[in-house]
Amino acid sequence: MNEERNAISGSEKPVWVTKPYLPPLEEFQEYLRDIWDSRWLTNNGKYHQALEKALCEYLGVKYISLFSNGTLALVTALQALRITGEVLTTPFSFVATTHALWWNNIKPVFVDIEPDTFNLDPNKIEAAITPKTTAILPVHVYGNPCHVESIKEIADTYGLRVIYDACHTFGVTINDIPILKYGDLAVMSFHATKVYTTFEGGAIVCHEEATKKRIDNLKNFGFAGETTVVAPGINAKMNEFQAALGLLQLKHIDKVIEQRKLIAQQYREGLKNISGLRYLDDTLGTKHCYSYFPILIDKKKFSKTRDELYEELKRHNIFGRRYFYPLISQFSTYCGLESAQIGKMLVAEKVTEEVLCLPIYPELENKIIPLIIDIISG
C-alpha cells in the first residue's frame, strides 16, 4: 500500500474534490452543429424550452425557469417574491447564499445549524424572528434535506416566505416527494462542480404559472413583451449550449448518481469505526444524490486535526476541500452583524473547524478510494 501511496503522491495527476461528468463528445457535437446551423444561440431558444420541460418531468415539479448560474437564480428568486428587511439563513453554506441577500439590500440573520444534518436548526428559528423578518433561506447542504415540514410550520405561523437554496440537490426525494416541491421557491445550480452540470447554470423551481412568468420576465431585463418592461430585471438567461448539454446530461444522470452512491458506500465501509471520525449516513426514505462526501474530524479523539489531515492528503496529491470553512458569518462583509458574533452558533462553529469533503465523482479511479481510506486511517 505504501508503494501505491507514493505512486499517487509522485503522480502528476492531482485528485480533486470533484470532476464534472461529461458525456461522450460525439453526442454533444450533434447538438453543437444544430445550434451553429440555426444561429439561435440564446433567449429562450428551442433547447432552453426543451430542457425546462424535460427537467420538470425528471424532477417531478411543475415549473422551472433556467438561469445562467445559481447565484443569479438566488438573487432573482428574492426579487420575484419582493423579499425585504431581514431573512433568516444558515452560516454553513457557500458564500453565494448570503451574497444573494446582500445584493438585494436584505439583512442576513444567521441561525445555527443542527449537528446531524448541518442544516438550519428549526428549533432555533423562532427566536431569531423580528417584525422585520420576511423570509427564511435554508440550504439543503450537501444535498441532504432540511426539516422541511418543521420549517413550513414556522413559516406558516409567522407569515414568512421560504426560499430553499437547493444548489446541492439533484433528484433528491423524501418518501418519493421531490425535495424541490418544498418552499415557495427552490433554487438550483448546474455549475461544473455539481452532480448535474450545464457548464455553468441554474434554475428556479416554482409552483404557479404566474410566478414562473414573473421570474422569466425578471431574468430577461424585466421584459413582459416587446415594448413592455415591468421590473428592473437582470440578464440571467441560460444559453442554448448550456441547455443542450443539460438535455444530454439527463440521459446519463441516473448512472452518474449511482456511481457516486457506490463511492459513498466504499468510503463509509472503509472509514467506519475510526475514533474521532464521523460521516453522514443515508436517511431512511430519502433518495440522495451524493453531491459531496463530508467527514468530520474530532481532534481530541482522532490522531490529527482536520487541517493536518487536509495537508497530509495534499502531500499525496489528493485535494479534499474544507466546504464550508470559514462560516459565511466569519467573512469580513458579515462578521460585524449581531447574529454573526462568535459564540452564537456553537454547532456551526464546531462543524466548520472539523469538516473535510473527500473526492467524489463518477470517474474517480477505483484504486484511489482505498488509498484515501488508508491515508486517513494512518
Q: Which residue from 114, 121, 165, 353 is in contact with ligand T4K, where contact means CB under 6 A?
A: 165
Q: Which residue from 167, 179, 234, 295 is in contact with ligand T4K, where contact means CB under 6 A?
A: 167
Radius of gyration of the chain (CA): 21
Q: Which residue from 98, 169, 189, 239 is in contact with ligand T4K, where contact means CB under 6 A?
A: 189
Establish if 291 lies at the interface with ligand T4K (CB under 6 A).
no
Beta carbons of 110 and 119 less than 8 angstroms apart? no
Q: Which residue from 69, 79, 134, 339 is in contact with ligand T4K, where contact means CB under 6 A?
A: 69
Pick between residue 274 and residue 316 the one whose CB is nearest to ligand T4K.
Answer: 316
Q: Which residue from 20, 85, 276, 370 is in contact with ligand T4K, where contact means CB under 6 A?
A: 20
Tell me the CB-side half-sphere exposure of residue 141, using CA atoms within 13 A: 29
Residue 19 CB, nearest distance to ligand T4K (Å)? Answer: 4
324's grid cell: 464550508
The one-letter amino acid code at 264 reads A
Residue 178 CB, nearest distance to ligand T4K (Å)? Answer: 18
Q: Which residue from 94, 110, 118, 241 is in contact with ligand T4K, where contact means CB under 6 A?
A: 94
- 326 prior amide bond cis, ω within 30: yes
Residue 17 CB, nearest distance to ligand T4K (Å)? Answer: 5
- CA dist 218 and 316 (Å) reads 47
Beta carbons of 178 and 172 less than 8 angstroms apart? yes
Place of cell 472509514: 271
- Ramachandran bin of 254, using left for φ above 0, alpha for ψ from -120 to 50, beta for the remaining angles: alpha
- CA dist 187 and 206 (Å) reads 9
Give, as ranges, the residues between 314 and 353 that touch ligand T4K (CB under 6 A).
Answer: 319, 323
Beta strand residue intervals within 45-148, DSSP E: 63-67, 86-89, 107-110, 133-137
Q: Which residue from 191, 237, 260, 316 is in contact with ligand T4K, where contact means CB under 6 A?
A: 191
- CA dist 112 and 125 (Å) reads 8
Residue 357 CB, nearest distance to ligand T4K (Å)? Answer: 9
| Residue whose Cβ sits closest to ligand T4K | 70
Q: Which residue from 89, 93, 211, 329 is in contact with ligand T4K, where contact means CB under 6 A?
A: 93
352's grid cell: 466548520
Residue 64 CB, nearest distance to ligand T4K (Å)? Answer: 15
Pick between residue 302 and residue 352 the one whose CB is nearest to ligand T4K.
Answer: 352
Q: Which residue from 51, 83, 96, 264 is in contact with ligand T4K, where contact means CB under 6 A?
A: 96
Establish if 70 lies at the interface with ligand T4K (CB under 6 A).
yes
Establish if 97 lies at the interface with ligand T4K (CB under 6 A).
yes
Partners of residue 202 on adjacent β-strands = 67, 189
Q: Which residue from 65, 71, 173, 242 is in contact with ligand T4K, where contact means CB under 6 A?
A: 71
Pick between residue 50 and residue 192 the one whose CB is nearest to ligand T4K.
Answer: 192
Q: Stretches 94-102, 177-185, 204-212, 304-312: which one binds ligand T4K (CB under 6 A)?
A: 94-102
- CA dist 297 and 300 (Å) reads 9
- CA dist 155 and 134 (Å) reads 9
| Burial class (CB within 10 angstroms; exposed 0-12, middle 13-18, buried 19+) of 19 | middle
Residue 322 CB, nearest distance to ligand T4K (Å)? Answer: 10
Residue 186 CB, nearest distance to ligand T4K (Å)? Answer: 12
Closest to 190 in 3D by CA, of 248, 259, 118: 248
186 three-state secondary structure: strand
Residue 335 CB, nearest distance to ligand T4K (Å)? Answer: 20
Q: Which residue from 139, 151, 162, 264 is in contact with ligand T4K, where contact means CB under 6 A?
A: 139
- CA dist 136 and 314 (Å) reads 37
**Interface residue list for ligand T4K (CB under 6 A):** 16-20, 69-71, 93-94, 96-97, 139, 165, 167-168, 189, 191-193, 202, 319, 323
